[in-house]
Amino acid sequence: MIFTADEILETLDMILYEHLDIRTVTVGVNLTGCVRDDPERMAKAVHDKIVSTASNLCLEADRAEARYSLPIVNKRVSVTPIGSLIDVHPQAGPLIASAMDQAANELGVDFIGGYSALVQKGFTVGTEALVDSIPQALSTTEKVCASVNIATTNAGINIEAALKMGQTIKELARIDPRLCTRLVTFANAPPDNPFMAGAFHGPGEPESVLNVGISGPGVIRAIVESMGDCDLSELAEVVKRAAFKITRVGELVGKEIAARLGVDFGIVDLSLAPTPQEGDSVAQIIEAMGVERCGAPGTTAALAMLTDAVKKGGAMGSSRVGGLSGAFIPVSEDAGMAEALKIGAIGLEKLEAMTAVCSVGLDMVCIPFATPAESIAGIIADECAIGVINNKTTGVRLIPIGKEGDWIEFGGLLGAAPVVQLNAFSSKKFIRRGGSIPAPLTSLTN
């Protein structure tokens, strides 16, 4: 991979002035060989496998950061979905979560994902036990992240699982609402996602792998602002070119770290992942395009164009694009998005519409603490329906906290956001029907 002098100078400007960074390098670890006939021995095997595989992750990431002067914000680990490992020891989940947390602390990584279950077609003994144990597992650990995939385009939507997730979120919020930031509910969860809280080492992945999540909303915003009143075709082209350059940088760094660790290089996830830092906002990119305030008419169209241009540029920049790859709209982590919600320019329904054209879904959204579990399940089901019908990944990370209009400060990369207003009418009877929503007709072509 050869870079021209101009490309190097452009990249330096992106790093110095426009918040370009590698948002995460995530080592995926296969744990299927860690099954033992005793839960404690199994937990120890999980711990030892994680530590031995990722022992030099932070060291090599720091070396790459120093060599390229490119910030690497997070170092993370993801593992085989634990729900698939504990059928023989269904009560071993919290013990394994503790082993994962201990390993993460020893390695010095920021988070470890994979306390996960795939239940789109129903529960096994192990996956049901894992979902039931999520409140205990997350409340007794610091770095463990959990995810549950309840829907796919080929399987439909498991509504019983949606209700169980609504109840799980309520229980987490009762213990501590901030624990909900480490839990995501998915439709069509990708097996190679490097971003938390949804990362796990999925089926079909190699023994160990390094996946890279890049970022760069500030880069894209600055480029859009520099284009003045050009037409939208030209604007899409410059976004595509910028995404191409960002992706090439991410792949260069990722391949070097993977080689030094002795693991496979997996994918570059080129999602625009915002932070609370000023200017590092997807909402502000939309506003730079000419939408007065994110949420106004034209917002969904602008986001669709942005996501498509990023995907096209990334696909040209690397043959290893994967994960989620698009534009994130996590409310509390995007200062522009949170402000738009605060002043009423955007609401939950508009956010939901936007998730039809971007990466993931309703992310880091604060809802009233008193929201019933069935209403939470209804929101999850709505978001899964968008993912299933459109054959894309969608996810939900809701935080029941406070009351409508309260301003909630999480701090750090989690930012701050208002508590949104929800529809006052109930979906309890619909959700309590249980069963599954069948797969759409389009699933027959997959």
pLDDT over 80 at 278, yes or no: no
pLDDT of residue 17: 41
Q: In sequence order, what E strands does 256-376 have?
A: 264-269, 362-367
Please tell me the distance from the alpha carbon of residue 409 to that of residue 413, in angstroms, as a whole number: 11
Reduced to 3 states, what is the DSSP secondary structure of residue 345?
coil
pLDDT of residue 153: 95
Nearest to 185 by CA among 168, 204, 210: 168
Domain range enclosing 349:
1-446
Helix (H, G, I), strand (E, B) or coil at 97: helix
Q: Cβ contacts of residue 301 below 8 Å, gap of 6+?
A: none
Report the first-to-last Cα separation within the chain, whole angstroms: 35
Mean pLDDT of 227-239: 91
Residue 5: pLDDT band by 50, 70, 90 thresholds? Answer: very low
Tens of pLDDT, residues 164-181: 999 999 999 999 999 999
Q: Return the pLDDT at 250.
A: 86
Q: Name the band, by pLDDT with cuts 50, 70 and 90, for residue 1.
A: very low
User: What value, to the nearest 5°, has the Cα angle with vertex 273 and ends 272 and 277?
Assistant: 120
Beta bridge partners of 440: none
Average pLDDT taken over every residue of the chain: 91
CATH of residue 356: 3.20.70.20
As a whole number of angstroms, the distance between CA 310 and CA 313 comes to 5
Number of separate domains in the chain: 1
**pLDDT tens digit string along 310-333?**
889 888 888 888 888 878 888 999
DSSP 8-state code for residue 143: S
Residue 14 has what pLDDT?
Answer: 53
For strands 264-269 and 144-152, give the pairing: unpaired
Q: What is the pLDDT of residue 241?
A: 87
Which residues are registered as beta bridge partners of 79?
Answer: 29
In order, the DSSP letters of 144-211 are EEEEEEEEETTTEEEHHHHHHHHHHHHHHHHH-GGGGGGEEEEES--TT--SSSS----TT--SEEEE
The answer, as to whether pTM is greater than 0.85, is yes
pLDDT digits (tens, 9 = 90+) for 330-375: 899 999 999 999 999 999 999 999 999 987 889 999 999 999 999 9
Burial class (CB in 10 A: 0-12, 13-18, 19+), 323: buried
Our CA dihedral for 416, 417, 419, 420, rounded to 10 degrees, sits at -160
The model's pLDDT over 143-170, given as tens digits with 9 standing for 90+, comes to: 999 999 999 999 999 999 999 999 999 9
The two tokens of residue 428 are 């309890």
CB neighbours of residue 61 within 10 Å: 23
Structure token digits, residue 249: 């940088």
Phi, psi of 396 (to 5 degrees): -135, 125
- Compute CA 178 distance to the chain's CA centroid, rounded to the nearest angstrom: 16
The pLDDT score that the predictor gives to residue 298 is 96
Mean pLDDT of 401-423: 92
Q: What φ, ψ does residue 132 adopt, rounded to 5°? A: -65, -25
